[in-house]
Structure 1
Amino acid sequence: MTARLLTTERRAITGLAGLYATRMLGLFMVLPVLALYANDLSGATPLLVGVALGGYGLTQAVLQIPFGLLSDRVGRKAVIAGGLLLFMLGSVIAAEADTIYQIILGRCLQGSGAVAGAIMALLADQTREEVRTAAMATIGLSIGVAFAIAMVIGPLVAAHFGLTSVFWLTAVLALVSLLVLWKLVPAAPRLVRHRDVGLDRDQLRSTLSSASLLRLDFSIFSLHLILTAAFVAVPFRLVDVGIQASHQGWFYLAVMGLAFVCMVPLVIIAEKKRRMKATFVGAVAGMTLILLALGEFGHQRWTLLGLLWAFFVVFNLLEATLPSMISKLAPAGAKGTAMGVYSTSQFLGAFLGGVLGGALSSHFGYDAVFLGAALLGAVWLAVIWKMPAPRHLSSEIVALDDHPDALDTLMARFAEVAGVEDVMVVPDERVAYLKVDRQRLDTDALARVAGTRDDSSGA
């Protein structure tokens, strides 16, 4: 089921993907530079620097679901604009800071502009069901690109203009995002709840009771805890092996580029060859060993560079495959709820990663940061070891405008279609949420049940 994008859909996808990526760029640019440049701030300690690194995650975790629910009531664009203003205010406060406490305040305010859910809901408002999955994938790709760019731009800007300039740049990016929201993103033609992107309170309990989904929530929590903790120590390790702050941006450019190239075949193996669990478990085991090696052996230049390249290969692999696994495991119609819990876990991990990384480096040195992260990796590996392999199911959303069948009859007819494994029909949204095995899916039968193809057509 494919369809060409309408002009309004193309504008919405382009504008919202750019807006999302720009916001994440501003949050991530600080990651590789704050620890290096915080010594000039009054009151700075390794612990407080770690809190500043991860502080955005705490407010993001607390507020992202309330902001998403608020957007259902007062409108998407109003909530997104308010969140961007908070993000810009936090950036300005951090740019003007001369104490570590002001940086922490600014970072927390940056995170309080938690508009990810509202952006995804607005994208769902703006797109038809048959193109929505591709639209969501575009947003996901934009986040990965933003992370890679931030790892390069942050060190380069800080090296030439100082830490303050990084925060001023994020404030400018927030202003640009407001202009994009105002001028490029069309007004939403409708305002409805979407179970594929938003939280459904009725499904929250079942989502939280799913052992497989909880394992994935713990996985993204651990991954971002490890990432944030590592950047308490990595910039100093690079300096120790002769890569000064002014050159670290070029180092990240080379490493991230090579890591991305090497990650792509692994994603293909996981998805196309249906080796998702083996790839997942192998990646977590690899991450644990890499962290252990960074703590024990990462004191020579080429050893450190090789280990950091391997770290980013595994990080990018996990960052790409974990959302896919959530999508495969979430019941029909519960993807939005599952992703809401998943994202909250991610941001909590970022916050605790900063705190724990700062505490370990303060009391035991930088080696302890990597060794502590390796210990978490071992726990993570134990948590997922007996996880059942996810079935390779895809989400399908089918429009049901003015469908003549009763709800129970319609659900039964969808369930009879070959390749349809789970179904939820939502009359209020006039859609059916399906989980399908694309290798077995009878697309002609599905189209007939949905009412988009008549039996007399000869199909």
Structure 2
Amino acid sequence: MTGVEKRAASSLSAIFGLRMLGMFMILPVFALYAEHLDGVTPFLAGLAIGAYGLTQALLQIPFGMLSDRIGRKPVIALGLIIFAIGSVVAAQADTIHGVILGRALQGAGAIAAAIMALLADLTREEHRTKVLAGFGASIGLSFSLALVAGPLLDRWIGVPGIFWLTAVLALGGIAVLFTWVPKPSHNHFHRDAEPVPGQFKRVLSDPQLLRLDLGILTLHMVLTANFVVLPLALHDYAGLDKMHHWWVYLPVLLLGMAVMVPFIIIGEKKRKLKPIFVGAIVTLGLTELLLAEFHHSLWAIAGLLFLFFSAFNLLEATLPSLIAKVAPADAKGTAMGAYSSSQFIGAFTGGALGGWAHGQFGLTGVFILCAGMLAIWAIAAATMAPPRYLSTFTLRVGEQDPAGATELSAKLAALAGVAEAVVIPGDEAAYLKLDREVVNWDELERFSVAEPV
């Protein structure tokens, strides 16, 4: 990659990663903090944790479309300002309703789609998969750091201080946006990174993609619901002071990340992705059932969280790969948009349902609820078709008239290793599904037209 591409990838990943760090740091500490807020109930505490997911799901695609019209950076800056305002509202709130409003405003600063579009503007097609993988990794790193930093910061500055810190980080992100993120030479639509409104019916009627959307919704529903009660289990039942909760989270996260790596390698290289995927879902479900029974023991919680995060990390890394394998060649951006919205709906649903189950049935009820949702997902995953081991790839082919686009599509589809080829004249691009181990890259590059960055 060029220096501009590296700078774009690192700076935009940092902006979004710090935003998500602020969002996630509340997870390990809020349940205990909420007990002291006026008007709190278990349901409202859960709603406060997941409220950001609803506004994020509703607004991220409209924000992305707005960035096509008025520019990427203004929309990203607006989103960060809204996020900062939400953080200030939550920091100053002394009622649970005020925190819910603040969290909803945080989610309303929905910049994910606009950042993805700007990344696409600043990187060439042949590097986009690497860039987006790095972007995803920054979110995973933010989550891991948040579970450790949240309890530590709670000790030093309290939950209101964490909200103030997230506001400062958001404003710092604006400074990075205008001083470090490169200015694109052009803004244009990227079908591989942005949703096409006319394609939503197509991707939302695909049974295989719907199974994956259900999967990410369930995964983040379970994660959020767990954190409605996990801090309470560690503090009230297992007797661990809240400032020491990171003692549990840090080792289980590190070990969980290490354990997932060989399974991903086996799944991809040995083409055993489906059984590993279904096995991870079943492992999550069993973990929830065991947490329902053994959440009084610190060592049991720690051991079960190790299993939970091993399976969770594996699924979190595998799901986007499956979306890329399953989505039509020219609809990856739309499929990812629906997938991302499902993820945030899952966070909202997990907070709301987790809070409701906690109020009605206690901690045990939350874990049983999660196990039931995972059982439904396991059935859906077990009945999905085995994935084709294909990658999406976008090739810049220059301007094409409709007849030339049809002819070029046929030529590209005839190449060894290319399973699907769609040339969109207005996009000046060919969207391919290919087997990276079979395709002849030199032969493919003969059809490429260099694009300046």
Bucket of the pairwise TM-score, normalised by the shorter protein: over 0.9
Aligned ranges 1:295-314 → 2 under 5 Å: 295-314=292-311
Does residue 317 (structure 1) correspond to residue 314 (structure 2)? The answer is: yes
- 1:370 matched to 2:367? The reply is yes
* Equivalent residue number for residue 180 of structure 1: 176
| Match of residue 73 from structure 1 | 69
CA distance in 2, matches of 1:192, 1:324: 25
Q: How does 1:82-161 map to 2 (within 5 A)?
A: 82-161=78-157
One-letter amino acid of the counterpart of residue 423, structure 1: A
Aligned length: 448
Return the letter of the residue paired with 1:379: I
Deviations 1:32-82 (A, max 9, x none): 111011112111111110000000000001111111111111111010000
1:391 aligns with 2:399: no
Secondary structure of 2:245 counterpart: helix
Q: Secondary structure at the match of 1:135?
A: helix
CA distance in 2: counterparts of 1:58 and 1:451, whole angstroms: 41
Q: What is the letter of the counterpart of residue 432 of structure 2?
A: L
TM-score (norm 2): 0.97
Find runs of 4+ consecutive structure 1 residues off by over 3 angstroms.
402-405, 449-452
User: Which residue does 2:267 correspond to in 1?
Assistant: 270
Out of 24, 46, 53, which is 1:57 matched to?
A: 53
Q: Please say if 1:34 is aligned against 2:36.
A: no
Give the structure 2 partner of residue 437 of structure 1. Answer: 435
- Does 1:14 find its partner at 2:4? no
Separation in 2, partners of 1:329, 1:78: 33
SS across alignment from 2:35: helix
Per-residue CA deviation, residues 248-305 of structure 1 (Å, 9 max, x unaligned), is 1232112111111111111111222211111111011111111011102232221121
- 1:191 alignment partner AA: N
SS at match of 2:426: coil
Q: d(CA) in 1 for partners of 2:335 and 2:393?
A: 16
Please report how far the alpha carbon of residue 448 of structure 1 lies from its aligned counterpart in structure 2 after TM superposition: 2.5
CA distance, structure 1, for counterparts of residue 253 and residue 367 of structure 2? 20
1:260 partnered with 2:260: no
* Alpha-carbon separation, structure 2, partners of 1:72 and 1:221: 27
State the match for 1:230 in structure 2. Answer: 226
Deviation, structure 1 residue 137: 1.1
| Partner-residue secondary structure (3-state), 1:41 | coil
Query: How far apart are the structure 2 equivalents of 1:274 and 1:190?
Result: 39
2:194 match: 198
Q: Residues 345 and 403 from structure 1, CA distance in 2 versus in 1: closer, same or farther, beyond 3 angstroms? A: closer
Q: CA deviation at 1:429?
A: 2.1
Amino acid at match of 1:53: I
Q: How many angstroms apart in 2 are the aligned matches of 1:316 and 1:223?
A: 10
**1:100-137: CA deviation from partner (whole Å, max 9, x where unpaired):** 11100000000000010000000000111121111111
Could you tell me which residue of structure 1 aligns to residue 404 of structure 2?
406
Counterpart of 2:52, as a letter, is: Y
Instruction: Report the Cα distance in structure 2 between the residues aligned to 1:434 and 1:264, rounded to whole angstroms.
Output: 27
SS in 1 for 2:436: coil
* Coordinate RMSD, CA, aligned: 1.3
CA distance in 1, matches of 2:386, 2:246: 38
Counterparts of 2:270 and 2:239 in 1: how far apart (Å)?
Answer: 42
Contact map agreement 1:298 1:307 (CA 8 A) in 2: no
Which of 416, 419, 422 is residue 420 of structure 2 equivalent to? Answer: 422
SS for the counterpart of 1:162 is: helix
Task: Select the residue among 44, 47, 64 that pairs with 2:40.
Answer: 44
Whole-angstrom distance in 2 between the partners of 1:312 and 1:285 = 13
Structure 2 portions without partners, runs of 5+: none
Amino acid at match of 1:13: A
The one-letter amino acid of 1:444's match is D
Quick check: 1:286 aligned with 2:283?
yes
Contact 1:160/1:246 (<8 A) preserved? no
Match in the other structure for 1:336: 333
- Secondary structure of the 2:296 match is coil
CA distance, structure 1, for counterparts of residue 447 and residue 93 of structure 2:
61
DSSP 3-state at the match of 1:42: coil
Where 1:32 maps in the other structure, the secondary structure is: coil
Give the drift of 1:403: 6.6
Alpha-carbon distance between aligned partners in 2 of 1:152 and 1:391, rounded to the nearest angstrom: 38
Cα separation, 2, equivalents of 1:364 and 1:398: 54
Contact (CA 8 Å) 2:399, 2:425: kept in 1 or not? no
**Contact conserved, 1:413 with 1:449, CA < 8 A, in 2?**
no
The alpha carbon displacement at 1:402 in A equals 5.2
Which whole-Å CA distance do the structure 1 matches of 2:290 and 2:282 have between them?
12
For 2:109 and 2:423, the matched residues in 1 are separated by 33
CA distances 1:76-95 after superposition (whole Å, capped 9, x unpaired):
10100000000000001111
- Secondary structure, aligned partner of 2:419: strand
Secondary structure at the counterpart of residue 396 of structure 1: strand
Which of 217, 220, 234 is the aligned partner of 1:221?
217
Q: Deviations over 1:167-198 (max 9, x none)?
A: 01111110111111010001221111111111
Gaps of 5+ in 1: 453-459
Residue 446 in 1 paired to residue 444 in 2?
yes
